[in-house]
Structure formats: C-alpha cells, structure tokens
A and B are shown apart, each in its own frame.
Chain A
Amino acid sequence: DIQMTQSPPTLSASVGDRVTITCRASQSISSWLAWYQQKPGKAPKLLIYKASSLESGVPSRFSGSGSGTEFTLTISSLQPDDFATYYCQQYNSYSGFTFGPGTKVDIK
C-alpha cells in the first residue's frame, strides 16, 4: 500500500503569512494528488486536484505543486477563513483512496 505523510502536523501562523504544507508518498504517484480543507464539524472541501489544478471557486491564494513523491500546498497570504486542517489524498487502483494524516493550521 502507498503511505502518505504530511508535515508539519501542526502549523501556527498569522494572517498574511505565507504557509507551506508538505505531503510525501511512499512511492511515486505521478501527479495523482489532491488537497482538501476541513473545518471543525464540516465535510472536507476539495481545493487542489492533479497536484496543481485549482478546483473551481477556490481562491487563487491556494496553489499546489510537486510530482512523484513530494508535494506542497501553499497559501500565499493566510486569511482568517483559512484556519483549518488540510489533508492530502492519493488514489491508486489497488488500494483506492489514501489520505495523509492532516496538518492543522492554527492562529499564532
């Protein structure tokens, strides 16, 4: 099975900060990676798919990059609405969907 890791587990930041979250896969997944944002008590929301494609309606301050085994989610200027937990996700035909453990972005 492909394992996903994320770093850091928790990130403290201020409004306006540039924030970067890293996701690593245990083996190459090409560009088959997505990022989700989840707020407490809410369902996850798709932000980025295919590593770098912005989902419709998602603010342009969110961007994704990477391929192979290492990926990043960047928030160019953190806004109050962005304090949440972020998950990466990969898909493969053998084991289906696998999510990373999450990165919680909280207020510094």
Chain B
Amino acid sequence: QVQLVQSGAEVREPGSSVKVSCKASGGTFSSYTISWVRQAPGQGLEWMGRIIPILDIIDYAQKYQGRVTITADKSTSTAYMELGSLRCEDTAVYYCAREKSYYLDVWGKGTMVTVSS
C-alpha cells in the first residue's frame, strides 16, 4: 500500500521560500509520477506541477513557472516542492499526490504553509 508522508507545517515571511517534502513508502517510487496540488483556505484545488523521477521529467503549471521547483531524490523516495518569492496569497495547504493514468489516486495529508510578516 503506497503512502505519501509530508513534512510539517511551515511559517515564512513574504519574499522568502519554502521547501516541502513528500516521502513515499510501500511501492516503487522512481516509477511514480508525483504531483503537487495546493488549496488556499476555503478555496478549491490548484495543480502546481509534477515530476516523473524515472524519466527526470518535470512539468509546471504556467502560473507557477519560474517560482516553483519540483525535485526528487530516488535514493530516499522523496519528492520536494520549493516555492520562492512567497506572498501572503501563497498561504495554503500543499498536497503531494501520486498520479495514475492522469488521475491522482494516493494523496499525502498535506502541509500547511503560512506566509505572514
């Protein structure tokens, strides 16, 4: 049974960056595609990008191009999402999720990122 365990809540000041981790267990990490989805308080779901570790392919949503970096460490089965130039509007829960045939079938529990001065 695949599980995705995310890092803990973060608080950052505007202009800084945050890096969230997502560790996979119970499967073959390098064969997965891992997506990152965020949800601002009281709002809907927004896809940010994804990584296919076995192919070293990374796709970003146009909205986040240049501000987000998604990486993966195959040796530790961990994916990372780093968001820079943080603004208050980036306050959200950030989820990682495994992609299966263009759907997201396994999700992490989410990481709350608060951006505040």
Q: Which residues of A contact B (CB under 8 A)?
A: 32, 34, 36, 38, 42-46, 49-50, 55, 87, 89, 91, 95-102
Contact = CB atoms under 8 A, between A and B. Distances in A.
Nearest to B100: A49
Contacts, number: 59
Nearest to B62: A95
Interface string B2-40: 000000000000000000000000000000000101000
Name the residue in B44, B100, B105 with the highest tally of chain A Cβ atoms < 10 Å from its Cβ: B44
Contacts of A34: 102-104
Q: Number of contact residues on B: which range applies?
A: 20 to 34
Contacts of B109: 42-43
A17 to B, nearest CB: 24
Contacts of A101: 44
A44 B107 contact: yes
Contact of B45 (A42, A44, A50, A55): A44
B106 to A, nearest CB: 8
Given A34-B103, A38-B45, A43-B97, 13 more contacts: A32-B102, A44-B107, A46-B104, A49-B100, A49-B101, A49-B103, A55-B105, A89-B103, A89-B104, A95-B61, A97-B37, A99-B46, A101-B44
B49 to A, nearest CB: 7
Interface string B85-102: 000000000010100111
B53 interface: no
Contacts of B49: 96
